[in-house]
Structure 1
Amino acid sequence: MRRLDISRLDVLALMRYDACTRCGECTSTCPTGGEAQGVELITPRGKILRLREFYRKQYGLGARLFGPKEIPEDQLKELCSRAYECTICGMCRTVCPAHLDTISMWENMREFLVANGLGPLAAHEQIVKSIENYDNPWMQPRSQRSRWSKRIETEVRIKDATKEKCDTLFFVGCTAAYDPNIRAMAVETARVLGAAGTDFGTLGNDEGCCGSTLLRTGLLESARTLASKNIGLFENSGASVIVASCAGCYKTIRQDYPRVGKVSAKVVHVTQFVNDLIDGGKLALGRRVDGKVTFHDPCHLGRHNELYDEPRRILESIPGVKLVEMERNREEARCCGAGGGVKTAYPDLAQKISVLRVEDAERSGADILATSCPFCYQSLKAAIEAKGSRLRMMDLMELVSMSCSDR
């Protein structure tokens, strides 16, 4: 009989699972379980009740008095499969009347599944191998990580932070560095930093994956190795500020790295940094960029870190831009569908949710759908193309660069 190892479920996690009142407030707002598929076991309530059932069978009072009961293997596999259909968007935490920290609960549940040999899924294993071999999840050689910078090497001074001290370290992230359709995000971010006269550098080809993908799929120990390596590079750079343009990287470095080691530098998202540059008069936005823009709040930026105002202040600072909100915005924003490893393991489900978000944007009357996360950008752009939408997908830094440049 398989005896579940509950050592990865810490005391707080067990208390939170027990504190769920089963009210079901979260079921209708869950993007994958409630809205997209209507499958109870994917919803927060469904996952919690199933795990509580397993716990009682093997560790409850009855199990202690009469011995643990066997849990059918197909039920274990089903829980694992459904648990990985969650994007860990955090919408359930927003609506939970008991104020349960469901984000940490789902990440902890995946650590539990991995510890018991049930997770991650086969599709996630390929990402793990890619990160182990190439330091990125895209199976691209390390030598290509800084390729994006070649496009602007004659116009923007980007220091090599592994050799020169710099005040600001730009952490590019894997997706913007390697995806040829998204490299413009890295390029335009660097242009904006350069336009403001920022003394900044990057880690070039030495920058490693932040480990977000590993953490969200329950592979804590592998993520710790990446974090330790990057922290060492951060400290050696002498930077006082680390600017991340990827919402996932920002969350990981700011919230998760301190559990591994001290990050001396202040960690900010590029929207915070650029908003401060504008407010401080260091970045002038004078060129008109006419259009109605709606902003998609990335889950890792919004619900996970409560950064809602900065992107909107930036948009309102750009001459010609009219900000129009989707009905579901800020803490109620619909997830793009890609997070938590869902896009990797369940691409059709991820796109279904992305299309719903594009439809939200269309109803706003916007011409441009902007965001500030390369993974959200990647997913929403694919949904726009699949749907044949008239919307134009743009990164926020592209709009800023257009306004502060004479190009």
Structure 2
Amino acid sequence: ITLILLDHGRRKIMEEHPESIDLLHCIGCGNCLVNCPTYSAVGNAFGDDGMLGGRGVALAALQRGLKEGIEDGLFLCTTCGLCGQACPVEIDAGKRLKDLRKASLASPEISSQLDEITLLQNTIDKHGTPYGQIERTPFPAPQGQSPIVLYIGCVGRSTEVETAGNSIRLLQRLGIDFTLIDEVCCEAVKGDIGSRPNPEKLQGNIEKMKKAGAKEVLFLCPTCLKIFLEHDQRSPTGLIFRTVLSYLDERFSFASAEGETAAVTYHDPCHLGRGLESFDGARGLLKNIGKEVVEMEHHHKDSLCCGAGGGIRGFYPKFSRDIARRRVKEAEEVKAEILLTDCLSCRHNLKQGVPLGGRLEIMTTPEYLLKGIEAGEIRVTRKASQFPLKFEKV
């Protein structure tokens, strides 16, 4: 019997990159590829010969160099985390790709060739948002003292202004006393593309929150929320960070007043679901209203990415739209008329996946609640243990 052992660069990883040794534990099941948003959109262009997907890209970069990794798709990953969720031996290829992106940007030779990524970094540094110099929307909400601050996020202040405004209208209609601050970007996108977020920007936001009298901070964006929660774990702020929905569910009861019969499905944002393990906020509210969620094929922890993450929407817009279209098709297949999600970035991208003339309506859960309340289809009562901070007729 002759036993032949093939190295194929394994020793190099074991000796030079021990932190990435989990990449060698692959059993070849293909789970990471089945629902990978990038692989579904570009196929074998994402990966190396014989090593497809994010794991293949990471191995190529570690074994043959960062340039090869970039050519194989290092910056095509949406950082959705589904590959790690699906892997039976818990290989976190997404994290490995983020680490390699950092290494690429830290290399003067490599970073000098990444013009679009460098431009995005500089834009955030200069303007405090990835969207460049934008005119601040004067939302109809006070900027004074309140125990509750609503943090809108960059998407809500740029491409989804109307959606953010609808959330503000809902809070005001419910008589919630809250305020806004002069936010700057939390720089989550920097971390996704491999750059270094500036902790002083985040701390500056926190100081503004405290100066406004905040005890609780409500978020429209789960990506922003995740960044603030991670910061709070490292350096406790004394503030409560939470989603708008969790706050509403704690203080109000929503019930159906009959009339609305549209079939509703729900898209779990990657950072809210797999990132923060929060799946039931919207579903719980809808259940209380008497509205059953018609689940798509992939939901909860197995939810597909909308295609907006990892800088992809900015760097590769067509590819991003293709991913959104795949997700929208799942909603169409279950005959949904309304697709709800609680991430403004997801909402924006999923709209790009609805074909011209398509009838699927994309909205956030706060928008859905507001629409139902204004149409008389949803009744609202304040829970007995809660007292209004400011009276306003619901």
Counterpart check, 1:43 vs 2:53: yes
* Alignment-derived partner of residue 265 in structure 1: 239
Amino acid paired to 1:306:
E
Cα drift, residue 19 of structure 1: 4.6
Correspondent of 2:170 among 189, 192, 211: 192
Report the CA distance shift for 1:22/1:228 in structure 2 as closer, same or farther (over 3 A): farther
* Alignment-derived partner of residue 318 in structure 1: 289
2:38–2:76 contact (8 Å) kept in structure 1 = yes
Q: Over residues 230-265 of structure 1, what are the superposed CA-to-partner deviations in whole Å (9 max), with x where a residue is unaligned?
A: 232233333121111112212222225644x43321
* Alignment-derived partner of residue 262 in structure 2: 291
Counterpart check, 1:218 vs 2:194: yes
Counterpart check, 1:307 vs 2:285: no
Report the CA distance shift for 1:105/1:196 in structure 2 as closer, same or farther (over 3 A): farther
- Give the secondary structure class of the aligned counterpart of 1:323: coil
Report the CA distance shift for 1:270/1:15 in structure 2 as closer, same or farther (over 3 A): farther
**Alignment RMSD, CA only?**
2.7
Counterpart check, 1:125 vs 2:99: no
1:88–1:103 contact (8 Å) kept in structure 2 = yes
TM-score by length of 2: 0.81
Report the CA distance shift for 1:404/1:310 in structure 2 as closer, same or farther (over 3 A): same
Alpha-carbon distance in 1 for matches of 2:101, 2:231: 16
* Alignment-derived partner of residue 184 in structure 2: 208
Counterpart check, 1:397 vs 2:366: yes
1:235–1:264 contact (8 Å) kept in structure 2 = no
Correspondent of 2:219 among 232, 237, 244: 244
Deviates more, 1:94-103 or 1:14-23: 14-23
5+ long unaligned stretches in structure 1: 1-9, 55-70
Cα drift, residue 406 of structure 1: 6.0
Q: Over residues 122-180 of structure 1, what are the superposed CA-to-partner deviations in whole Å (9 max), with x where a residue is unaligned?
A: 22333323222221121234xx3342x1xxx3xxxx442xx52x21111001111122x
- Give the secondary structure class of the aligned counterpart of 2:332: helix
Alpha-carbon distance in 1 for matches of 2:312, 2:123: 17
Alpha-carbon distance in 1 for matches of 2:137, 2:288: 31
TM-score by length of 1: 0.79
Report the CA distance shift for 1:356/1:267 in structure 2 as closer, same or farther (over 3 A): same
5+ long unaligned stretches in structure 2: 1-15, 377-394
Counterpart check, 1:230 vs 2:222: no
Report the CA distance shift for 1:200/1:103 in structure 2 as closer, same or farther (over 3 A): farther
1:227–1:257 contact (8 Å) kept in structure 2 = no
Report the CA distance shift for 1:244/1:12 in structure 2 as closer, same or farther (over 3 A): farther
Cα drift, residue 272 of structure 1: 2.0
Cα drift, residue 391 of structure 1: 0.9
Alpha-carbon distance in 1 for matches of 2:107, 2:335: 48
* Alignment-derived partner of residue 388 in structure 2: none
Equivalences, count: 355
- Give the secondary structure class of the aligned counterpart of 1:89: coil
Report the CA distance shift for 1:20/1:231 in structure 2 as closer, same or farther (over 3 A): farther
Alpha-carbon distance in 2 for matches of 1:258, 1:17: 28
1:288–1:318 contact (8 Å) kept in structure 2 = no
Identity of aligned residues (%): 27
Alpha-carbon distance in 2 for matches of 1:77, 1:53: 13
Report the CA distance shift for 1:387/1:36 in structure 2 as closer, same or farther (over 3 A): farther
